[in-house]
């Protein structure tokens, strides 16, 4: 079964073309958003999930990176949800403590059909390369909602804002890899019989 999905989304604020291959047959580093820091974080996510990700995104960055970051989260979530189909055979749950130097974050997720983000802990409230700290939760929130998963991201410690956010993206990648891994069972992993 092919777990590949392409998404195209065009609004007055952003223009995004994204292809996701959960099983990693696409190039993992074909990512261009016009925001190098975001490219870096998404590249870390792709690398640590083992997913193939092709992404070309443009947005009104002169206004604020918010629209672009959120809309990429929407597209990635839509692609993930579509590529997983009815969720048959997946592990469903994934979690990872991810250290990066002084930073330590926990990312835990359940591909539950209920899209929600729980963001907590002492996240550094500083811009990274002039990108405000408040835009990053918007990516994770949009992704969780559109992938229909419950997502917890907890910062336990960290002084360097770059280290903390990169650990979040890497932890997300590792958790997604675990949750979307196929088992020997073809059943939907739910007592309800569906997700």
Tell me the pLDDT tens digit for each residue of 163-192: 999 999 999 999 999 999 998 777 776 667
pLDDT of residue 190: 65
pLDDT of residue 2: 86
Please give the CATH topology (third level) of the domain spanning 4-180: Ribosomal Protein S5; domain 2 (3.30.230)
Question: What are the pLDDT digits (tens) for 40-99?
Answer: 999 999 999 999 999 999 999 999 999 999 999 999 999 999 999 999 999 999 999 999
Q: What is the mean pLDDT of residues 10-30?
A: 90
pLDDT of residue 170: 98
pLDDT of residue 173: 98
136-145 b/e (C-beta count within 10 Å ≥ 16 → b): bbbbbbbbbb
pTM (whole model) above 0.85: yes
39-70 b/e (C-beta count within 10 Å ≥ 16 → b): bbbbbbbbebbbbbbbbebebebeeebbbbbb
Q: Give the separation between CA 176 and CA 160, rounded to whole angstroms.
A: 24
Residues 6+ apart with CB under 8 A from 48: 169, 170, 171, 173, 174, 177
pLDDT of residue 117: 98
pLDDT of residue 159: 96
Residues 6+ apart with CB under 8 A from 93: 108, 109, 110, 111, 178, 179
């Amino acid at each position: 079964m092919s777990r590949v999905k392409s998404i195209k989304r065009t609004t007055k604020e952003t223009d995004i073309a994204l292809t996701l291959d959960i099983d990693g047959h696409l190039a993992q580093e074909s990512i261009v958003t016009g925001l190098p820091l975001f490219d870096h974080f998404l590249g870390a996510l792709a690398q640590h999930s083992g997913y193939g990700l092709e992404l070309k995104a443009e947005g009104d960055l002169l206004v604020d990176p918010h629209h672009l970051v959120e809309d990429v989260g929407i597209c990635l979530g839509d692609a993930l949800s579509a590529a997983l189909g009815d969720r048959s055979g997946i592990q469903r749950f994934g979690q990872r403590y991810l250290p990066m130097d002084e930073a330590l974050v926990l990312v835990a997720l359940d591909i539950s059909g209920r899209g929600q983000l729980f963001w907590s802990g002492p996240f550094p409230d500083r811009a990274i390369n002039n990108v405000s700290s408040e835009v990053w939760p918007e990516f994770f929130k949009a992704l969780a909602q559109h992938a229909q998963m419950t997502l917890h991201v907890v910062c336990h410690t960290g002084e360097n804002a770059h280290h903390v956010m990169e650990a979040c993206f890497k932890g997300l990648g590792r958790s997604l890899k675990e949750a979307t891994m196929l088992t020997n069972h073809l059943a939907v992993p739910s007592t309800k019989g569906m997700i």
